[in-house]
Amino acid sequence: MKKKPVEAPKTAVHLADIRGPEDLKALSDEELSALAGEIRTCLCERVEENGGHLASNLGVVELTLAIHRVFDSPKDHVIFDVGHQSYVHKLLTGRYEQFDTLRRPGGLGGFPKRSESEHDAFGTGHASTSISAALGFAEADKLSGSDAYTVCLFGDGAYTGGMIHEALNNNHRKLRLILILNENEMSISKNTGRFAKNISKIRARRGYYKAKKATVSFLWHIPLIGKPIYRLIHKIKRALKSALYGSNYFENLGFTYYGPVDGNDEAAVENLLREAKRTGRACVLHVKTKKGKGYAPAEENPDRYHGLSPKNCKTDEVGSFSKTFGEELCALAKEDPRLIAITAAMVDGTGLCEFAKTYPQKFFDVGIAEEHAVTFAAGLAAAGMRPVVAIYSTFLQRAYDNILHDVALQNLPVVFCIDRAGLNSSDGPTHHGIFDVAFLSQVPGLTLYTPATHASLKKALKQALSDNCPAAVRYPKGGENSRIVQAFYPNGEDNEIRVRSDFDPAKKEALDSLIITHGRIAAEALAAKELAQKEGKSVGILLLEQLKPYEKVADEILPYLPQKACKVLFLEEEIYAGGMGMMMRDSLDRIGALANKKVSILALRDSFGIQECDEPLLRSVGLDKESILKNL
């Protein structure tokens, strides 16, 4: 039986009473404590029901309360890195009554979203972007003469991304910019020992800065010797800090540094934030929070409770592509000592946990640094290794130049295993994998595989590793669809990567329409075919296990095309421009295969796949079975 969050003391103020940040300003310490408890209960109930990020949000309850008590959103801008820890912010900024709709179709998003609330200053979803955006706000306020502050909350995980360092390098003191480094996993500053911990406690007390100001004022007013004494004390203090904490990276970059402080101590955080605000210049507050705070299961297993699936999630999918990939890579590594696995802070998500344990010397988690991951792989390949880079589709976009310039231009045999390909409804548009087919289709010399079953994934991975060129294998979140297996592999798998059909090629002339597709969306094509058959239409479907080279695949499609006039529909759950439909139609046109065919392409047209209304995602973006039927 799961333990529930610790119940908060009874209070006259409830979460439902908080209509905006201004309602937090006058609350007592007791009321704040009770409110924090109520927030945690609400988070546990809603996130376990709807899915989403739980542990990270439980850890920032007091921190978010302190931010909204000290600053005045939306005048002051609050920016989150990634944004998976913004649920508390949503609850405190007038969205409590909508919180039941979190991550549901047409409901609250799982990340900050400018169109959702004036309190969401900047939309996020990917890591390491926050400080760059915050600098933009702070510089804009400075140029316009605004006295607004910009508050940026980023974690030590995001700190592994290169953009964080690029942004910090552009800072200067004269900005009303407050950066909050939330450390909950790894240690960045050197702060060992009981003496160091006591120093940080002293700095967090409300009377510390008042006493500090009085001391400075007293020394400066002593004739002749006052200022030299102050400078000596200040010099000794800096030396002591350096001995305790090491060289302070932030202070060397021009920030005033506060902390580290217990981020789950609302009063301590609030005190330091008020002091940082008083300075009127760029500051860094270093806080330490506990993931899953207040909920025992999440505290004990923060990784497990980082991202939860919806409670009553029904699916026709079997198994997990990520797990299959990880298992097959382990098997292939036994045969090829050159095989190396690389990921960008997604060990569990990409299914590489077992590989990391079995082959620790051949496994590299480079952090949230996709560009580095790709060029690192290029170096390994140039040195004779066979690197496999496992990255989510939405994050691979960040490394486009590295794929082109460092891998493809040199024709290096790097294999990209692209997880979460296609639409991903729960996380929304920031996590849709809808652009990889289009941008990889432009890369000269790269082969692109699109397995739709576990067995075809294994085949594609093995083939990609044997190709002496750049290769990519893309597959969706979740597992294979049993309908796809039954329709396209009725006699089981074979060892060949080819075009698959759900009809007898000898009977192709009887077809009124032909659907050409790849990946998971084939299941929706099969459902549309059933509807078409009820209307008396004869429909065939081709499932492509490989897309690129397009000319090669076009030649394989030819035997399945009816000679008579008929409709040909290219179907994909990716972006239209530069996608499979456009590229394959062009290749077939060049060999005269579509001369008497009525051709249409059903894909996302100039869209990020934003689900605005309360309906299934495929219907919302026009890729459901009814939309397919209209094109047949």
Q: What angle do CA 477, 478, 481 make, to 5 degrees?
A: 115
Helix axes of 194-204 and 206-220: crossing angle, nearest 10 degrees: 80
SS3 243: helix
SS3 41: helix
Catalytic residue among 69, 291, 293, 625, which?
A: 291
The residue with tokens 């376990």 is 48
SS3 114: coil
d(CA 451, CA 548): 13
Helix axes of 266-279 and 29-50: crossing angle, nearest 10 degrees: 100
The residue with tokens 């004869």 is 538
Specify whether 370 is catalytic: yes
- Asked whether 14 and 38 are in contact (CB, 8 A), the reply is yes
Q: Which residues of 54-66 are buried (b: 16+ CB within 10 A; e: fewer)?
A: bbbbbbbbbbbbb
Question: Around 262, how many Cα atoms within 13 Å sit in the side-chain half-sphere?
Answer: 13
Kindly state the DSSP code that residue 175 receives in the 8-state scheme.
S
What are the CA-CA distances from residue 305 to residues 262, 348, 440 (Å)?
Answer: 22, 13, 34
d(CA 330, CA 340): 10
Task: Please name every residue paired with 341 in a beta bridge, in sequence order, or none if there are none.
Answer: 363, 388
SS3 350: coil
- What are all long-range contacts of 95-101, with beta carbons under 8 Å and residues at least 24 apart? 96/15, 96/16, 96/18, 96/42, 97/16, 99/42, 99/46, 100/46, 100/50
Tokens of 395: 């994050």
- Asked whether 264 and 62 are in contact (CB, 8 A), the reply is yes
Catalytic residue among 103, 176, 398, 477, which?
A: 398
d(CA 146, CA 620): 41
Residue type, 208: Y
Tokens of 406: 């460092």
Query: In terms of C-beta density within 10 A (0-12 exposed, 13-18 middle, 19 or more buried), how is residue 304 classed?
Result: middle
3-state SS of the chain: helix, strand, coil percent to 5?
45, 15, 40
- Asked whether 31 and 10 are in contact (CB, 8 A), the reply is no
- Asked whether 11 and 272 are in contact (CB, 8 A), the reply is no
Specify whether 458 is catalytic: no
Which residue, among 567, 560, 516, has the nearest Cα to 538 in the 3D structure?
Answer: 567
Task: Please name every residue paired with 541 in a beta bridge, in sequence order, or none if there are none.
Answer: 515
d(CA 3, CA 44): 11
Tokens of 495: 């060892």
Specify whether 334 is catalytic: no
What are the CA-CA distances from residue 30 to residues 36, 61, 157, 503, 550 (Å)?
Answer: 10, 15, 33, 70, 66
Catalytic residue among 275, 370, 371, 572, which?
A: 370
SS3 541: strand
177-183 and 283-288 strand pairing? parallel
CB atoms < 10 A from the CB of 425, how many?
18
Catalytic residues: 291, 370, 398
